């Protein structure tokens, strides 16, 4: 028994094949260095055509080489974690800590209440002692419909939670579960079959009531009169002007009323809409999270905190126990501040039309984990309460995660609500360290990354947990504009961090390991990739139109490093993607979205961040839509790209695509006129440029279809088609004539 007590609660294994990869990476870097040497030693003389483009390509290749080095830091030494939940149960089942779960929603019009309730129900049904579980819904929209939906979900939970635990249901989001059962078309035994019919009928009843309220845009007077909680909306003016609305929907301290239909305890369930006033900045999601931290400390005060986005339902009922295997490990647990799970999505198409986070989740996050832990990505993350509130790491001081049996002062539910409301007021944080040294940090669109960095810089480690069954599943954007806007927000926030005093380049220097620092920089510099990508996707094609070579001739030995780096890099990328269970077409789609993000999302993020840094614009938080209409969904399922309304991003993408097409067509026409000698010369001197331009055309095929061949509502807007065509043709003609 004594020997069992010292067995670790988790193990860490290093990836196989690391030596082989390092040799390969070193050879690629040697090829990159040779490309740099070629560029520097072959710069055209002043006055020669192509000198400007040559220098531009040199700058782009230096940047690509530097950024490639950053990406290798997250592949150099990946580690994989495995937990032993049976050991956790044997040792600490009666001492498991309290867990407070935060679900954040902000706008009921683009984050449907029914979707939010499925997430709430999924986390209420964790395989964990319910008396130690508390769920908080932060509604930054202050919607009485969302509050009504939560009350209905609380009633349904009295049936849903015992059903889940009786039949060991996975997933525990009702909507996802019923879809999976419909797909499986089977329920195991007769007893469960009967219970399945009953529970599904109850779910449909709840769903219809909530959807009817959403359709009407209000809660009926009859419902309002039955529940005193609605009286808190009497002083409600707008989403940005209302008092704190706090309601303990299920009081987990009440052993009589807080029970399910089988007499077992239910988790505590709390609704919060923090106070909003027009004259006070509410700091977006970070402000909501900090309010939740304070409010929960007065109600349940769980030692472990989980935050999830409203669309990110629990897909693995044992995720809390996985987390505690890390945090309660006797040898290493005291070093770990948070446990980050991957951000996975349930609605991805077979070939991931708009790409995904597949390689980041399966490769890069494991690599960063080896240096001190993954980045905090704002959802699917378990934190120690004290570290999120600013506690510094100390080897001599260990944070106890065990259940606190000391009884707190028992207040009546109404008194507790009234005493707690002030913690979510607009003025509470004035002259405090909240948003600075306590809670999530303010002043950045990606408050999660900067908060995680500050925790790491205080000496803490984090852990990446990627179990076989995904812990959380959310909704990925189903249109191209939505995915571009989402990546603009992410890259803008990360670049904002890079230019701030919290930059990983200097703030983290000497506080975290070099590999960890490079891992942070890899994401902080996302936006900076736009310039080099724009250079490489325009200049070679334009100079192809002039017949000016910018790369080594086919007979030149300098072609070898170019060929080796291109073939080696993309072959490795392809194999890596397939190793992560991706598809061939999925990899091709990822290359397309990679190009689109860098030439639109990252470009606007780069420009906006620079303007913000010099005081011309203010940062804003854009919520990604979680719903799509029926036609959009059907096209998405068929993997037809959705372009939607006109936007500057789409104009840039269309212009670049047409620019390459015009340059290629002009070159082919000119070579056809020049005859066989001209073609032979072009093959010798222009092959790499032709290849690059051709690949850019192939990768843009869906865009060309959207511009001119499609007739559905998801096609490229006509205004974008006209503008991009005029700009592309005009640019090509002017460039050709200026020669």
Catalytic residue list: 140, 448
Q: What angle do CA 103, 106, 109 make, to 5 degrees?
A: 120
Q: How far apart are CA 196 and CA 181, in angstroms?
A: 10
Nearest 10 degrees: CA dihedral of 664, 665, 666, 672? 110
**CA distances for 390 relative to 337, 340, 387, 420, 498, angstroms:** 11, 18, 5, 21, 22
Element (H, E) at 285: helix 284-299
The order of strands in the sheet holding 268-273 is: 245-250, 268-273, 133-139, 99-105, 304-309, 381-384, 336-340, 461-464
- Strand blocks (E) in 379-474: 381-384, 461-464, 472-474
Q: How far apart are CA 488 and CA 492, in angstroms?
A: 6
Among residues 11, 4, 5, which one has the least CA distance to residue 326? Answer: 11
Q: Give the contacts of 351 (CB within 8 A, at least 6 positions apart).
A: 583, 585, 586, 589, 639
Q: Spell out a b/e string for 91-110, using b for 16 or more CB atoms within 10 Å of the CB, else e.
A: ebeeebbbbbbbbbbbbbee
Q: Give the contacts of 326 (CB within 8 A, at least 6 positions apart).
A: 9, 10, 81, 83, 332, 333, 336, 339, 463, 465
Two structure tokens written together for 526: 């996302």
Contact 343, 377 (CB under 8 A): yes
Residue linked to tokens 């005859």: 675
**Phi and psi of 727, rounded to 5°?**
-65, -45
Q: How far apart are CA 170 and CA 472, in angstroms?
A: 12
Q: How far apart are CA 309 and CA 91, in angstroms?
A: 32
Contact 470, 345 (CB under 8 A): no
Q: How far apart are CA 315 and CA 467, in angstroms?
A: 11
Among residues 211, 224, 206, 251, which one has the least CA distance to residue 144? Answer: 224
């Amino acid at each position: 028994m004594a020997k069992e007590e010292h067995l670790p609660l988790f193990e860490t294994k290093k990836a196989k094949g690391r030596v082989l990869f390092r040799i390969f990476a070193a050879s690629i870097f040697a090829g990159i260095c040779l490309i740099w040497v070629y560029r520097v030693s072959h710069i055209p003389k002043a006055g020669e055509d192509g000198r400007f483009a040559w220098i531009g390509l040199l700058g782009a290749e230096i940047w690509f080489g530097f950024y490639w080095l950053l990406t290798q830091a997250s592949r150099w030494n990946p580690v994989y974690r495995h937990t032993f939940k049976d050991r956790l149960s044997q040792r600490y089942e009666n001492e498991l800590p309290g867990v407070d779960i935060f679900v954040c929603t902000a706008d009921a019009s683009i984050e449907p209440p029914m979707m939010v309730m499925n997430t709430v129900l999924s986390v209420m049904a964790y395989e964990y002692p319910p008396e130690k579980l508390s769920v908080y819904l932060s509604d930054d929209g202050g919607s009485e419909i969302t509050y009504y939906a939560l009350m209905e979900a609380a009633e349904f939970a009295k049936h849903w939670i015992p059903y889940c635990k009786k039949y060991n249901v996975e997933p525990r989001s009702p909507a996802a579960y019923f879809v999976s059962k419909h797909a499986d078309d089977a329920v195991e035994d007769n007893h469960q079959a009967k219970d399945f019919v009953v529970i599904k009928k109850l779910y449909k009843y709840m769903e219809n009531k909530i959807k009817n309220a959403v359709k009407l845009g209000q809660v009926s007077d009859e419902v309002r009169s039955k529940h005193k909680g609605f009286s808190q909306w009497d002083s409600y003016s707008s989403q940005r002007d209302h008092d704190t609305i706090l309601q303990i929907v299920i009081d987990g301290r009440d052993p009589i009323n807080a029970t399910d239909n089988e007499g077992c305890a239910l988790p505590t369930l709390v609704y919060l809409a923090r106070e909003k006033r027009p004259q006070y900045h509410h700091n977006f999601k970070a402000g909501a999270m900090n309010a939740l931290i304070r409010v929960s400390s007065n109600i349940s005060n769980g030692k472990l905190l989980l935050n999830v986005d409203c669309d990110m339902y629990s897909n693995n009922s044992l995720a809390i126990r996985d987390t505690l295997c890390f945090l309660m490990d006797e040898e290493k647990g005291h070093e770990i501040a948070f446990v980050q799970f991957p951000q996975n999505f349930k609605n991805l198409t077979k070939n991931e039309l708009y790409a995904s986070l597949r390689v980041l989740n399966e490769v890069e996050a494991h690599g960063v984990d080896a240096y001190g832990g993954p980045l905090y990505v704002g959802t699917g993350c378990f934190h120690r309460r004290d570290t999120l509130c600013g506690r510094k790491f100390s080897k001599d001081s260990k944070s106890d995660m065990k259940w606190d049996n000391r009884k707190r002062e028992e207040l009546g539910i109404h008194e507790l609500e009234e005493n707690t409301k002030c913690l979510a007021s607009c003025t509470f944080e004035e002259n405090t360290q909240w948003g600075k040294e306590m809670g999530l940090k303010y002043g950045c669109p990606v408050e999660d990354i900067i908060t995680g960095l500050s925790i790491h810089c205080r000496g803490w480690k984090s852990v990446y947990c990627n179990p076989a069954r995904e812990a959380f599943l959310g909704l990925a954007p189903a249109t191209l504009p939505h995915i571009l806007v989402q990546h603009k927000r992410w890259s803008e926030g990360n670049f904002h961090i890079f230019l701030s005093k919290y930059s990983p380049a200097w703030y983290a220097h000497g506080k975290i390991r070099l590999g960890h620092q490079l891992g942070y920089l890899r994401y902080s510099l996302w936006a900076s990739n736009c310039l080099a990508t724009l250079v490489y996707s325009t200049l070679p094609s334009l100079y192809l139109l002039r017949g000016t070579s910018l790369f080594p001739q086919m007979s030149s030995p300098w072609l070898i490093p170019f060929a080796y780096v291109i073939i080696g890099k993309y072959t490795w990328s392809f194999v890596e993607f397939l190793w992560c269970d991706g598809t061939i077409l999925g990899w091709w789609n990822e290359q397309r979205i990679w190009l689109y993000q860098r030439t639109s999302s990252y470009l606007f993020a780069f420009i906006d961040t620079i303007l913000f840094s010099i005081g011309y614009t203010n940062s804003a938080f854009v919520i990604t839509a979680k719903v799509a209409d029926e036609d959009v969904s059907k096209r998405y399922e068929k993997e037809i790209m959705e372009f939607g309304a006109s936007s500057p991003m789409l104009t840039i993408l269309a212009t670049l695509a047409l620019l390459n097409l015009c340059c290629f067509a002009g070159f082919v026409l000119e070579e056809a006129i020049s005859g066989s000698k001209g073609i032979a010369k072009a093959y010798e001197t222009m092959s790499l440029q032709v290849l690059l331009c051709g690949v850019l055309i192939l990768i843009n095929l869906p865009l060309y279809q959207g511009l001119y061949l499609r007739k559905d509502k998801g096609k490229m807007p006509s205004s974008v088609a006209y503008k991009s065509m005029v700009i592309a043709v005009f640019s090509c003609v002017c460039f050709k004539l200026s020669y």
